[in-house]
Structure 1
């Protein structure tokens, strides 16, 4: 079973505003409002791909029902821990005329020590030996790197594998303690390497040095695809999406991770996991809401994706 953990959930609000200009008064249309956060997005994509998952993490006490109801008739089993305060609101403004995306991210709740203790107990209930626990997103106020390491360690102590898609101290801590998978982008990989990496080949060499602590390193290259580095080798995968077809890039990395995990649990080799990964990331770019993909797009992009050893 895959368990996603989103410590800093959000409610995503997407507006369509043609010819959007800062400082002006203009009309827009609400595209949609959806419970989100990186792990939530991963669970939603996994469900579309036909895979069950459990979704946990923190949500503001007033928003629990919104999150739970969003997973009705899906393969996601929500089991969140409520905290005082509001879940942060993330607003995306899409301008299809100017071909721009503007993101406004609010700060939400602060996590208390008692909340962390409750989440620890929740993970004890949800996680079983052999599970894959995926920690996604930033650390909210109140969650230190030390607390994050404790959560990771508790899952590993139960015989689960841990994957981390985060940044900063959370990412560094995960690598230091050893996990199954991490998914840094090129900038984050540069920080880990201690030098600026401008080429994917440099990132491949830097990622290879982490294999004594991590089994799989996925280095996100944005529209240029992803690098996958394991002890079996290094691959690059890419799926081209014409710029005119891109609706929103929010959540594409989460969809990519979901695709990789889906094929991994089926026992597919890394190269095939990467193929589905970039197909899901490309499919997400065609929709306005994070973590929303269509299987028709996934199937098409799976056929079009390129994967090659480097």
Structure 2
């Protein structure tokens, strides 16, 4: 079983307008509400790929009930901690005329010391039943920067593999616990380095720097340019098929889902990367995050290029 952890769960609300302009009044053409947060998006794609997944984390209030019920309807097992207040709403405004996306990320509930201790205990119990635990997204207010590092150590103590996908200080702190898998995007890696790599060679060298810190698998997602990966000491460049994306929100989560799902099946490194990039590309063709068309996924699997470096 795969477990995903989302400490900052959300309702992802996508609003479509004909032509979005800041400072103007708009009529909404249509609206979609989805259970969201990075780990929840990972869980949704794993389920669509055919995997068994449990999702945990922290939810609150009526928004939290919507998140939990929506996931259960999709056959995803839920085991959340209930906090006081309300889970956040994250707004994505899609401009139908240009295809541009404007995101507004809401604030979630404040997390108490009791909530933190409860999630540590919950993660330990679920990790003991899982092959892989995916820890994704930002830390909610009231939690220490070191919390992901603590959770990674808890996961590793049970023998499960730990995946980390976050940014900022949580990324730096998480590195100290040597997760088994790390997925920075280009912005997160640039922030960690303090400069932007200039070419494929520098991106690969930067990924190797992370691997040298004790991370067995590092995948750097580069948007439409695909990904660079260091898997057990071997470097790969992965090129996706060329598409005209509908919505790029959640593509990194779909990538992580593909790596976790294919890894649990015991697939080869190249097969795992093919699954991950195909899932991410199919997600880009959906109007909602953490969603993909299985027919497109299968089509893209035949078009992904994987080049050992």
- Shorter-chain TM-score above 0.5: yes
What is the aligned partner in structure 1 of residue 269 from structure 2?
270
* DSSP-derived class of the 2:184 partner: coil
Distance across 2 between alignment mates of 1:182 and 1:269? 18
CA 308–63 in structure 1, closer or farther in 2 if over 3 Å, else same: same
2:235 aligned with 1:234, yes or no? Answer: yes
Distance across 2 between alignment mates of 1:106 and 1:74? 25
What is the aligned partner in structure 2 of residue 124 from structure 1?
124
Once the two structures are TM-superposed, the CA of residue 271 in structure 1 deviates from its matched residue by: 1.5
Distance across 2 between alignment mates of 1:55 and 1:259? 16
* DSSP-derived class of the 1:304 partner: coil
Matches within 5 A, 1:143-182: 143-182=143-182
Matches within 5 A, 1:254-293: 254-293=253-292
* DSSP-derived class of the 2:176 partner: helix
Once the two structures are TM-superposed, the CA of residue 194 in structure 1 deviates from its matched residue by: 4.2
Matches within 5 A, 1:1-310: 1-128=1-128, 131-212=131-212, 213-243=214-244, 246-310=245-309
Once the two structures are TM-superposed, the CA of residue 232 in structure 1 deviates from its matched residue by: 3.9
* DSSP-derived class of the 2:302 partner: helix
* Conservation of the 8 A alpha-carbon contact between 1:208 and 1:230: no
- Calculate the TM-score normalised by the size of structure 2: 0.95
* DSSP-derived class of the 2:59 partner: strand
How well do the aligned residues superpose, as a CA RMSD in angstroms? 1.6
* DSSP-derived class of the 1:72 partner: helix
Once the two structures are TM-superposed, the CA of residue 196 in structure 1 deviates from its matched residue by: 2.8
Between stretches 223-232 and 175-184, larger displacement belongs to 223-232
Between stretches 177-186 and 148-157, larger displacement belongs to 148-157
Distance across 1 between alignment mates of 2:187 and 2:199? 11
* Conservation of the 8 A alpha-carbon contact between 2:8 and 2:37: yes
Distance across 2 between alignment mates of 1:229 and 1:62? 42
The number of residues matched between the two structures is 308
CA 14–178 in structure 1, closer or farther in 2 if over 3 Å, else same: same
* DSSP-derived class of the 1:93 partner: strand
* Conservation of the 8 A alpha-carbon contact between 1:129 and 1:159: no
Distance across 2 between alignment mates of 1:188 and 1:197? 12
Q: C-alpha offsets along residues 233-275 of structure 1, whole Å, 9 cap, x if unaligned?
A: 11111213432xx211111110111111111111112211111
* Conservation of the 8 A alpha-carbon contact between 2:17 and 2:93: yes
